[in-house]
Structure 1
Amino acid sequence: MTTLRHRMIETMQLRGLSANTQRAYLQAIQCLAEYYHRPPDQLSDNDIRHYFLYLHTERRVARSTSTIALCALKFLVEYVLHRSWPTLDLVRAPKAHTLPTVLSRDEVQTLLALVRLPHHRACLTTIYACGLRCMEGISLRVTQIDAARMVLHVQAGKGTKDRLVPLPAPLLTLLRTHWQTHRHAIWLFPARHRGHAPTTAHQPLASESLRAVWRATVRQSGIQKHVTIHTLRHSWATHLLEAGVNLRVIQAWLGHQSPQTTALYTHLSPRTLTDAAKICDDLCRGLP
C-alpha cells in the first residue's frame, strides 16, 4: 500500500466516512492514477481538467460515476494533499432526468419465487418487504427485529442514520423460520461458505454474491426491464403510494432527508397518473 493511499484511508476513517464511500473514493482515485500512470499527488490542475474532459466527452460516464470521481478528488485535495485545484470548482456532473425501473407486484412475486436458495430468497424478500437498501438488508442483526412493536430498526443506514420501518407479520414469520436454519447469535443472514456452518460465520452475506444471484434470477425470469436489487426498494415505495400511503410517511420509512426525493415516486405510479387524468377529465366536463 502506498503512503498516499494509507493517508487517504486514515483520513476517511477520521472523517467518519462509511465503508462503501471509502471503497468508492479509493476506486475513483485509483482510476485517475491508472489513467496517468502517476500518483495523484504528482498531477497538476491541468491534468485534472483533461481527466474530467476525458470522462465526459470520451467515456461519457454516468452522472453517478462523475459525481463520485469529483467528490473523491475534492476529498483528496482538501483533507489529504491540502492543495488547491481550481478545476474542481468548475466541474459539474451532467444533469440526469431518468426515472428508475419499477416492478409490478406480480413481477416481484415471480422473481422472488425463482430464487433457488432459501437464504437468498429470505434476504431479498426482506429487502422488498421493508424497502431496504442492499447493504441494509444483508447486514441485518437479530437485535434489529422488534417483534413486540412490529418494527425493524434500520441502523447506520445511508448517511449513518437510523430509522424505523414496519415489520409485516408474514415477514416476521419468514424470518423466524429462516433463523431456525442457522441460529446465528448476531446475523440474520450470515455468510455461507462450503464446508463451514453458518452458525460460526464472522460476517453477513456478501453483497457481490447476492447481486449475482439476483442478476441470474432476472435473466431466468425473462423480464426485459433493467432490474437491480435496488429496484425492489423503488417498487416497494411505489406500491405503497399506489395503496394510498401518505408520501411523508413513505419518506420517513425510506430515510429520505428531502421530500423532493420521495416525490419521484409520484411519477412512477400508474395509479397516480390515472387518477390525475380522471381529475383532468372532470375539470373539462361542461366546458363549451
Structure 2
Amino acid sequence: MEKVLRTKWYGETVKTLQINGKSERTRHCYARAVRMLIQYFGKEPDQITEDELRDYFLYRKNDCNWSSNTMKICYCGIRFFYAHVIRREWHIFKILKSQKEKRLPCVLSRKEVYAVLSYIHTLHNFTYLATVYACGLRLQEGLHLEVSDI
C-alpha cells in the first residue's frame, strides 16, 4: 500500500515541479520531503490534517534535530506539494519560518596562517595572499586588488 501511495503522489509532485520550472536539485529535494512525509504517516497525504502536519514539523525539528536549512527545504517542499498538487491553503504555511543559523567565522591562529602560506611557492601569490589576509579583505575586495592600491 505504501509503495502505491508513494508512487502516485511522488509522481504527481515531480510532474508539477517540472511544469513549474523548478531546477533538478529543487525537484529532488522537494519530492524527497513529500516522500518522507508520506512514509512518516503511512496514509494518503490528502487525509493528513493541519494539526498532524504541525506535529510532523515539530517532530523533525525537535526529535530529529534537523538544521534550519534542512527544515526550510522540508517546509518549502511540503508547502509546494499542498499548494500546487493537493491545492490546499493552510494557515500553518503562512506562519512557518526557518531561522538562519548564525555561525561565527573560523579564525586561524598565526601558526595555522603560516602553515597555509608555507605551501605557496611563488612570491607573487604569497605576497597577494599574505596582503589579503593581513588586511582582512573580503572576497570581492581581494579580487579587485591592484598593485596601485598598496
| C-alpha displacement of 1:85 | 1.9
> What is the match of residue 116 of structure 2?
106
Select the structure of larger CA radius of gyration.
2
User: What RMSD, in angstroms, separates the aligned Cα atoms of the two structures?
Assistant: 3.2
Q: Is the 8 A contact 2:68 2:98 kept in 1?
A: yes
**2:81 matches 1:76:** yes
**2:52 matches 1:47:** yes
Percent of aligned pairs sharing the same letter: 25
Cα distance in 1 for partners of 2:11, 2:54 equals 25
> What is the match of residue 70 of structure 2?
65
Alpha-carbon spacing, 1:247–1:39, altered in 2? closer, same or farther (3 Å): farther
Q: Is the 8 A contact 2:38 2:45 kept in 1?
A: yes
Quick one: which of 27, 33, 39 aligns to 2:38?
A: 33
> What is the match of residue 9 of structure 1?
14
Cα distance in 1 for partners of 2:11, 2:17 equals 10
Higher relative CO (CA 8 A, sep ≥ 6), structure 1 or 2? 2
Cα distance in 2 for partners of 1:18, 1:59 equals 27
Q: Is the 8 A contact 2:68 2:100 kept in 1?
A: yes
Quick one: which of 19, 28, 33 aligns to 2:24?
A: 19
Unpaired runs of 5+ in structure 1?
111-237, 251-288
| C-alpha displacement of 1:76 | 0.6
| C-alpha displacement of 1:24 | 0.8
1:106 is matched by which residue type in structure 2? V
> What is the match of residue 279 of structure 1?
none
| C-alpha displacement of 1:106 | 2.3
**2:97 matches 1:92:** yes
Q: Is the 8 A contact 1:67 1:93 kept in 2?
A: yes
Alpha-carbon spacing, 1:100–1:44, altered in 2? closer, same or farther (3 Å): farther
Q: Is the 8 A contact 1:52 1:91 kept in 2?
A: no
Which 4+ runs in 1 deviate beyond 3 A? 99-105, 241-250
Cα distance in 2 for partners of 1:81, 1:38 equals 14
| C-alpha displacement of 1:14 | 1.1
1:2 partner SS: helix
Indicate the structure with greater helix content. 2
Cα distance in 2 for partners of 1:36, 1:244 equals 47
Aligned ranges 1:75-154 → 2 under 5 Å: 75-99=80-104, 106=116
Aligned ranges 1:226-241 → 2 under 5 Å: none
Alpha-carbon spacing, 1:2–1:62, altered in 2? closer, same or farther (3 Å): same
TM-score (norm 1): 0.36
| C-alpha displacement of 1:20 | 0.8
Cα distance in 2 for partners of 1:35, 1:100 equals 37
Q: Is the 8 A contact 1:26 1:72 kept in 2?
A: yes
